Structure 1
Amino acid sequence: MSNTIDTGKLTLISQGAAYGLLIGLGVLFCGVILIAVKIQKLYLSEDSGKSEMFMVANRSVGTGLTASAVFSSWMWINETVLAAAMCYRYGLAVPLWWGSGLCFQIALMAALGVMAKIRVPYAHTSLEIVRMRYGKIGHLVFIVLNLVNNVFGCASMIMTGSQLIYGVSGMHFVAATILIPLGVVLYTAVGGLKATFLTDFLHTAIALILIIYFTLAVLTNDAIGGLGGLYEKVAATASENYISGNYEGSVLTFKSKGAIIWGLILKFGNLALVVMDTAFWQKSFATEVKATVPGYNIAALAVFGIPWGIGTVLGLTARAIHNTPIFPTYPDPLTDTEVSMGMVMPYVIKALIGDGGIVGFFILLFMAITSTVSSSMIAVSSILSYDIYKTYLNPQVTDKKLVKVSHLTVVIHGVFITGISIALNYGGANMTWIGYLRPVISCPGIIPVVLTLFWSRQTRLAAIISPILGFFTGLTVWLVTAKTMYGAVDIAATSNQYPALYAAIASFFSPALYSVLLSLYKPYTFDWRVFLRIELQDEAKLHADSDSATPNDSGDENTETSKGNEITKPVGNTPTEKPINNNDPERVGGIDEKAPLKTPPSLAVEQQSLDDIQHPFDEATIKELYRWLKIAIVFFVVIVLVTIVAWPLPLYRDYIFTKSFFSGWVTVAIIWQFGAFGAVVIYPLYDGRHEIATGARGIWNSSRRYFGKRGAT
């Protein structure tokens, strides 16, 4: 296999320790989340047995936890491991390009998320929005696009992790592939989306502590000698570290053709992984009205510093010591296969920190992979259960049955992605090749999805056809360019940068052209009020199902006569004569029309005039959402201009970093790491202090009652 190394000569940790860590961490997180789910249900009135809680966390997640969860979902193992490897390959320009290739997508998702709250306030998935606008065929097309994106992204992370575990310990990658998602499947199936928010917070806290530790421990090691020592060692080995395409071949220059091409490919691929990943949409649906934009933008700023800091320090450290006796592979050189697998980071940690550092690396690896896998599992589960099962297989499903199906689909997805990961391993793929392939298969749906919320004139035909044409355009460009430039169509030829870059550009931009042309062919203007029917035909029925005393009541639209059904009562000050004008996204007002008992709710909604449908949010809330939309758009534009244009481009010149400039550069990156820790670990604790206090009081009071009874007996 082209993606493996000979671990018979070198293992950084024993197989027994690797098995123990994988199994132990999985069991530990299962236990933590089971306890958390129990506390939520007993003391915070949050029941993951209800679909609204399982899928969108009752739309009640605050700013701090949102920022932590988004950060964790976007803190893929690539951002640490591969950032160091690509810094080793192309120089210090890569980590900054990597950071800029992470943050603007989250900023864009903030704008999309708040627009979704305005247009479709009660959606559960992005695909639900597509179905309402483009019908069954459009829905099925985007189901395939989203599933491919989610499954491919998740499987590639498991594949990457299994290869790293194999490289570090010699554990067979099939065993690692099975063990990595096992614990995640269990706690995700039990806890739902809110469980992933909570475990995301734990992942984030532990991973950031380890990232900061590794960065500082490597820098302060006697073999490196701080920032000045690192610079001097890298500068002294310039002749043996010559990089073709860099200014004077230096790793200390920002003028690097390889780095900027890699950065562009990364930006396209990451944009697809956010916009086409229903996990990021679900997190925006799960947030409070005022939490979406600040939560996402805090995460966007925080994530910038992760690859920048650790990628720069560990990548350049590898350049400084890879030909010295302390490096694990010495006297053998570091091979391209090892770099592509991401072995640069564990080799540096083993050389400078030792066995304890490798254990820490293993934990970091587990944290980063499982946080990605858990959010992917909820996303795919929602697609399979809500967009496929409920929509096409069993429209009359009760809320309780829907949650059971969601649990089952989490398990099915876990088994499926495990199989895909094993197939990718046996096919010879590695994380570098995966990074080149990802934009080709994920980018074609981006612009059609964005236009679904922002352009009323995109037609059904355009939305259906343009991403399909875009995919084949990108794939054709990729393969033809590889054949033309390198004479073959295989993993080696398609692992080159130029075919991947041209293919990413074609996959991203061509659907915009196709969509506009097809929309102008037969013009049509969509009425945004149609989206409000989601609240009527889906949300109202779903709550009626969950609150009915018997399964026979779930389809009864005349809810005033349903036994035990209390949802027709006004919530707060909501007037009963305007049942859908309800400001509480967790509850739905009753339906006044005296429809026959056998009339399906969806049919009654379809027959209702759009002029009679009112937005469920009041005018003040809608005005507040539009204010947040303006803030999100401005922030997105600013972050693109700063991180892609104003900051890096002036450095792309004939210049090699001086010692003082390099020291300042890395110092700022390290400060950014601490800022990220404060933003997505400390701030969420402060933001959720009332819920934490409530849960703590509940546990304390229950403990006192329990031990009091034990003492009395």
Structure 2
Amino acid sequence: MGEISSSGVTLISQGTGYGMLIGLGILFCGVILLAVRVQKLYLNEDSGQSEMFMVANRTVGTGLTASAVFSSWMWINETVFAAVNCYRFGLAAPMWYGSGLCFQIALMAVLGVLAKIRVPYAHTSMEIIRMRYGRVAHVVFLVLNLFCNIFGCASMILAGSQLIHGISGMHFVAATILIPIGVVLYTAVGGLKATFITDYLHTAVALILIIYFTLVILTHDSIGGLHGLYDKVAAIAEDNYIEGNFQGSLLTMKSHDAIIWGLILKLGNLALVVMDTAFWQKSFATEVKATVPGYNLAAIAIFGVPWGLGTVIGLAARVLHDTPSFPTYPGEFTQQEVLSGFVMPYAIQATVGEKGVVAFLVMVFMALTSTVSSSMIAVSSIISFDLYKTYINPHASDKRLIRVSHLAVVFHAVFITVFSIILNYGGANMTWIGYFRPILTGSGIVPLILTLTWSGQTRLAAIWSPILGFVTGLTIWLATTKSMYGTINLQTTMEEAPALYGSLGSTFTPALYSVLISFYKPYTFDWRQFLRIELVETSLSDSTDEKATSPGDNTANGTDTPQKGAGVSSSSSSSIADAPTTSESDLNNLQHPFDDATLRQLHRWYRIAWVMWIVLVLLTFIAWPMPLYRDYIFDRPFFTGWTTVAIMWQFIAVVLVVLYPLYDGRYEIWKGAVGIQRSLGRVFRK
């Protein structure tokens, strides 16, 4: 197939591109390493311990959780490709983009708080699978989880590298190599808590730039504000007819292609969240009272990013693409350039100029490195905990696990870089990967959810339902492609209808398979089995130092973290059996590490999480967009109100995931600042 062409119009020099990637990588690496040092010296948080490295001692508060989840979910798709799809399908696409992001995060709030109730010491979602179903199911879900992480991370690096290559002329391979380099160091050293901190910084910088781009383009003389944008889009309607839209208008919610694409997005994003152990780890890392509000704040905040930014920039690009200020003028803005993501940088160049493109590159860097760091810590935990400790060295010490985790981060960075390069030279792009990913990984969603929610799912069902679901989805995808387009190749498999049907088959048929197989040989799982999972054991040489900072020391940390040894089986996580064979008497001796008051609080949060999820689904899937899916083109007042609310949502996001985390973590910030001040005072007195 050959290398995909992502060449666009060069907007900045190669030197600027190299300088930005290298400089930003060094800057963020230095900031995070300093933050990790402050944590260790003044906040008793040592990333040299595996509980801290993998799940941040389970003490992360609401604000930082919201910011970290928001950042991990603010992929390059939500910014760059929201504008692309608004340009392609009209203003319906950014709305569907927003609705395709938030319900998955709200669902993870449900699963996260339920995991705290039933598996209080879990480290990865794969550990839960192994505890309940044994080795074979564990391997099946390991493969699915690694595929999810690999394709998700690689697709982001691929898209970012193609963008950087297109606008700066930097070689694609160089951009692909430079993106993960800085991330490797601070992730390997700082672990999950370092990704929480860097996620906050990414979120703050990216949201400021998103608001800046939205407002500066909207108010530019060539656009003329909300009224000017509406009038100009209406004026070019005849030359910008969109097939499948009501009257071909960009200003209608009745867009066939947008809604089909939105459904594919929802299924793909559901797989990216539920099948990505990084989102599970962030929920494991939170305090008892932080999981549900933290995840739901992120779910609400994320909606405004693609909706506001995509609407303004996508429509502005339609207005500008035939004017002398547009970089491609007088040539055509080709479909290949559009699909490669150049809608946003070209619109910025036409309005803000080269300085704006440099700022755009910063925003892309924020989105990319956040995704890569989250993927690295997830994969390193899988390799160190689910592979190394489980199958290679069951008696590995805490220090050995940390060493393996560090090596796993480096290995994943090298592997994902090479894989991204292979995808590029193989001809893949974001569209094809986005359509294939839910078919590949979506089959594990329902069985994984049922692992925590249904005691009747059997081991055979957990093993075979995702395999059969994937085969079903793949068969539907390829057969539909062949039936509709006569041939199967890269282009025909990127068509929306076959991808949607395949995604639906892969995602939902495992529910049927699971029920049928479970009824073949019924079995009821005893949830108390999950209490056999413990904290990672630490070496005896470290025990003295850890007494003051143990994640189970409620009084030292002032949190509701479960207390180790409160009736939990003395066997470590490495001794989990391949099947639940503990006798009834042994199970009766197990005691939940949370007290009754904490468990009541968790059950209350669990009910709240379900209510929030149902409300978000009904609101963003049905009550809001569906009444607008009719023969209606927005008039100027409605468009003005619509876009104003979308922009206001961006400011709400700043409050929820930038300002609130500062307030929520004010005591830790003050404690760290005082510690630094005292240390500097001692240095100067000398």
Q: TM-score range by the shorter chain?
A: over 0.9
Give the partner amino acid of 2:670.
A
The residue that corresponds to 1:94 in the other structure is 93
CA distance in 1, matches of 2:425, 2:367: 23
Contact 1:462 1:514 in 2 (8 A): yes
CA distance in 1, matches of 2:551, 2:190: 30
**Runs of at least 4 residues off by over 4 Å:** 562-574, 590-595, 600-608
Alignment of 1:96-495 (within 5 A): 96-495=95-494
Alpha-carbon spacing, 1:519–1:683, altered in 2? closer, same or farther (3 Å) = same
SS of the aligned residue for 1:615 comes to coil
Residue 532, structure 1, aligned to residue 557, structure 2: no
1:678 aligned to which of 628, 638, 655: 655
CA distance in 1, matches of 2:588, 2:457: 22
Alignment of 1:626-705 (within 5 A): 626-705=603-682
Residue 549, structure 1, aligned to residue 525, structure 2: no
- 1:237-295 per-position Cα deviation (integer Å, ceiling 9, x unaligned): 00110001000000001100000000000000000000000000000000000000000
Residue 589, structure 1, aligned to residue 565, structure 2: yes
Contact 1:570 1:589 in 2 (8 A): no
CA distance in 2, matches of 1:448, 1:439: 15
CA distance in 2, matches of 1:377, 1:667: 38
- 1:627-666 per-position Cα deviation (integer Å, ceiling 9, x unaligned): 0000000100000000010000000000000011001100
CA distance in 1, matches of 2:613, 2:569: 44
CA distance in 2, matches of 1:563, 1:50: 13
Alpha-carbon spacing, 1:646–1:563, altered in 2? closer, same or farther (3 Å) = closer
Give the partner amino acid of 2:651.
F
Residue 611, structure 1, aligned to residue 588, structure 2: yes
Contact 2:569 2:590 in 1 (8 A): no
Give the partner amino acid of 1:3.
I
- 1:326-383 per-position Cα deviation (integer Å, ceiling 9, x unaligned): 1110111111111111110000000000001000000000000110110110000000
Identity of aligned residues (%): 67
SS of the aligned residue for 1:657 comes to coil
Contact 1:113 1:285 in 2 (8 A): yes
The residue that corresponds to 2:4 in the other structure is 3
SS of the aligned residue for 2:253 comes to coil
Contact 1:122 1:585 in 2 (8 A): no
Q: Any unmatched runs of 5+ in structure 2?
A: none
SS of the aligned residue for 1:198 comes to helix
Larger Rg: 1
Give the partner amino acid of 1:296.
Y
Give the partner amino acid of 2:39.
Q
Q: Shift of residue 388 of structure 1?
A: 0.4
Contact 1:83 1:95 in 2 (8 A): yes
Q: Shift of residue 479 of structure 1?
A: 1.1
The residue that corresponds to 2:72 in the other structure is 73
Give the partner amino acid of 2:637.
S
Contact 2:165 2:171 in 1 (8 A): yes
Q: Shift of residue 204 of structure 1?
A: 0.2
Alpha-carbon spacing, 1:572–1:55, altered in 2? closer, same or farther (3 Å) = closer
Q: Shift of residue 571 of structure 1?
A: 7.3
Alpha-carbon spacing, 1:568–1:240, altered in 2? closer, same or farther (3 Å) = closer
SS of the aligned residue for 1:491 comes to coil
Residue 624, structure 1, aligned to residue 616, structure 2: no
CA distance in 2, matches of 1:80, 1:565: 43
- 1:556-581 per-position Cα deviation (integer Å, ceiling 9, x unaligned): xxxxxx9999699997799xxxxxxx
CA distance in 2, matches of 1:137, 1:571: 32
CA distance in 1, matches of 2:547, 2:659: 40
CA distance in 1, matches of 2:278, 2:331: 43
Alpha-carbon spacing, 1:572–1:698, altered in 2? closer, same or farther (3 Å) = closer
SS of the aligned residue for 2:324 comes to coil
Alpha-carbon spacing, 1:11–1:653, altered in 2? closer, same or farther (3 Å) = same
Alpha-carbon spacing, 1:35–1:519, altered in 2? closer, same or farther (3 Å) = same
CA RMSD in angstroms comes to: 2.2
Alpha-carbon spacing, 1:155–1:634, altered in 2? closer, same or farther (3 Å) = same
CA distance in 1, matches of 2:570, 2:363: 58
Contact 2:473 2:505 in 1 (8 A): yes
Give the partner amino acid of 1:588.
K
Contact 1:466 1:511 in 2 (8 A): yes
Alpha-carbon spacing, 1:567–1:392, altered in 2? closer, same or farther (3 Å) = farther
SS of the aligned residue for 2:541 comes to coil
Q: Shift of residue 435 of structure 1?
A: 1.3
Q: Shift of residue 585 of structure 1?
A: 3.3
Alignment of 1:491-502 (within 5 A): 491-502=490-501
CA distance in 1, matches of 2:541, 2:306: 53
Alpha-carbon spacing, 1:414–1:592, altered in 2? closer, same or farther (3 Å) = closer
SS of the aligned residue for 1:665 comes to helix
SS of the aligned residue for 1:549 comes to helix
CA distance in 2, matches of 1:194, 1:44: 12
CA distance in 2, matches of 1:134, 1:153: 26
CA distance in 2, matches of 1:639, 1:444: 24
- 1:430-478 per-position Cα deviation (integer Å, ceiling 9, x unaligned): 1111111111111100000000000000000000000011111111111
Contact 2:6 2:162 in 1 (8 A): no
Q: Give me the TM-score of the superposition, normalised by structure 2.
A: 0.96
- 1:595-629 per-position Cα deviation (integer Å, ceiling 9, x unaligned): 9xx9x966899577111111111111111100000
SS of the aligned residue for 1:80 comes to helix
Q: Shift of residue 14 of structure 1?
A: 0.5
Contact 1:188 1:410 in 2 (8 A): yes
CA distance in 1, matches of 2:367, 2:627: 33
Give the partner amino acid of 1:85.
V
The residue that corresponds to 1:62 in the other structure is 61
Q: Shift of residue 487 of structure 1?
A: 1.6
Q: Give me the TM-score of the superposition, normalised by structure 1.
A: 0.92
Alpha-carbon spacing, 1:641–1:167, altered in 2? closer, same or farther (3 Å) = same
Alpha-carbon spacing, 1:617–1:648, altered in 2? closer, same or farther (3 Å) = same
Give the partner amino acid of 2:221.
D
CA distance in 1, matches of 2:552, 2:130: 29
Alpha-carbon spacing, 1:14–1:463, altered in 2? closer, same or farther (3 Å) = same
Residue 706, structure 1, aligned to residue 683, structure 2: yes
Aligned residues: 679
Alpha-carbon spacing, 1:449–1:602, altered in 2? closer, same or farther (3 Å) = closer
Give the partner amino acid of 2:123.
H
Contact 1:533 1:605 in 2 (8 A): no
Q: Shift of residue 549 of structure 1?
A: 2.2
Q: Which moved more, 1:333-342 or 1:651-660?
A: 333-342
Contact 1:48 1:192 in 2 (8 A): yes
CA distance in 2, matches of 1:609, 1:411: 41
CA distance in 1, matches of 2:472, 2:518: 19
Q: Shift of residue 524 of structure 1?
A: 0.6
Alpha-carbon spacing, 1:102–1:637, altered in 2? closer, same or farther (3 Å) = same
Q: Shift of residue 591 of structure 1?
A: 7.8
Q: Shift of residue 43 of structure 1?
A: 0.3
CA distance in 1, matches of 2:65, 2:393: 32
